Amino acid sequence: MSLNGSWRYLAICVLILPGTLCFLQDQPKVLLVSFDGFRWDYIYKFPTPNFQYIIKNGIHVEQVTNAFITKTFPNHYTMVTGLYAESHGVVANEMYDPVLNDSFSMNHMTIYNSKFWEDAYPIWITNQMQGYRSGAAMWPGTDVKIHGVFPTHYMPYNESVTFQERVAKLIEWFRSKEPINLGLLYWEQPDELGHILGPDNPLMEKVIRDVDENLGYLVSELKRENLWDTLNVIITSDHGMAQNSRDRIIELDLYVDRELYRMIDHSPTVALLPEEGKLDEVYSALVNAHPHMSVYKKEDIPNRLHYKHSSKIQPILAVADEGWEILQNKSDGFVWGDHGYDNVLPEMHPIFLAHGPAFRRNFSKQAMNSTDLYPLLCYMLGIDPLPNNGSLESMKDALVNPVHEASQPRFLLDYQQASYAYFIGVILGSTLVLVFLLAFVRHLTYSQTPAVWGRQTEVTQPLLQP
């Protein structure tokens, strides 16, 4: 074989090898972005050119029904597990678990108690168990060691880290030598200022403009890094926001002695832990106390809320009507905007937009549940989902290649393959590379070896025989 022929042989190998590893090179990538408290109709109330750009070039879901209760931690965990709060266990921003005899508060370091998160496996763990890498910029729960696992890359929560810094870090992870296929990005606005101002305040226009500019920055950076056309980008939020008034306050002190109970979670959905033996007394005092407050014993919470089967849900739950606040008295802290109300209320509903190779363009669909996001993410990532309360079927009309009811995640056919597909692919690909290179070296060696080597072999060969 001539030297030129050898190089042609190597060239053929080089051309063939990428096809053998295409499932690794073409690995789908997803970036999930949450703008906390971005109500579904903000895009209609205020100028939002960057949100409108994604709607025109991607998909828009008009009504997203999130999970009860409509607060930050429960809904961010629902999005990444596909489970209702009663199943994933993060039932509120403030919790007490009598089984653990421990408390959880989003305002304290107790959020890092792994036991509160381990009723479920969030998607970054599922993704990593199946051989891939995840990166998270401040998404709630990603800086907690859940089932002994952190995301491959993550940023410990620090509100002072700018949106631009979070975007830069995610792009770095997507562009690294060992890139992530799943990114999660969280931003605190417009929730923080929505509480302070209220959603009906004219000053909210500036807040929404700022969020829209951040979205524009994200899009421009992804385009600059040639990621925009290859990433599936989902823009969503955890809940909406309702306008409050100082004329709509329900004071518990008017109806029940505060010494009879502990307030675990706060307005507008209040979790009450009565003192031992005082449950019926507290319940009787509150059940018909105010026309704008619904009060339930735990076992009587409506089934449609999916909010009773957890040790972290307290014996009594009081839920205010939209726009009303439940305080112990009027001296307690008051906010002009709030969330946590019934999840059927439109004001509690979040936004959902998406753009990328998996999604149709300029397409709107009427409705989805926030639990549907998890199976959708798993499908796009090509990983097997864990049991969940969502439906991939409900999102099939938004996809370029519609999902059939019996279809399986891309690249993966069953759970066993899901767990090992990545490693089998790497081993198989590496083996093929080695075989091709050995064949090339063999041909190159024989083509360049003097003829006397062959004669010497023939001479010595009989000496090796008995």
Active site residues: 72
Residue 462 sits at φ, ψ, to 5 deg, of -60, -25
Decide: 272 and 282 in contact? Cβ < 8 Å: yes
Report which DSSP code applies to 336.
S
Burial of residue 1, with CB atoms counted within 10 A of its CB: 0-12 exposed, 13-18 middle, 19 or more buried: middle
Strands, DSSP E only, in 40-180? Answer: 59-65, 94-97, 102-105, 134-137, 153-155
Concatenate the DSSP letters of all residues of 244-299 into one string: --TTSEEEGGGTS-GGGEEEEE-TTEEEEEEPTT-HHHHHHHHTTS-TTEEEEEGG
Which residues are paired to 136 by β-bridges? Answer: 154, 184
Q: Which tokens sit at 293?
A: 């407050």
H-type helices in 269-398, by residue range? Answer: 279-286, 373-381
- How far apart are the C-alpha atoms of 177 and 160, rounded to whole Å? 29
Decide: 255 and 270 in contact? Cβ < 8 Å: no
Q: Helix/strand/coil (H, E, C) string of 50-85?
A: HHHHHHHHCEEEEEEECCCCCCHHHHHHHHHHCCCH
- How far apart are the C-alpha atoms of 106 and 72, rounded to whole Å? 9
- How far apart are the C-alpha atoms of 141 and 315, rounded to whole Å? 26
Q: Which tokens sit at 448?
A: 């360049």
- Angle CA(453)–CA(458)–CA(461) in degrees, nearest 5? 115
Strands in 231-236's sheet, in edge-to-edge order, are 153-155, 134-137, 182-187, 29-35, 231-236, 352-355, 59-65, 363-369
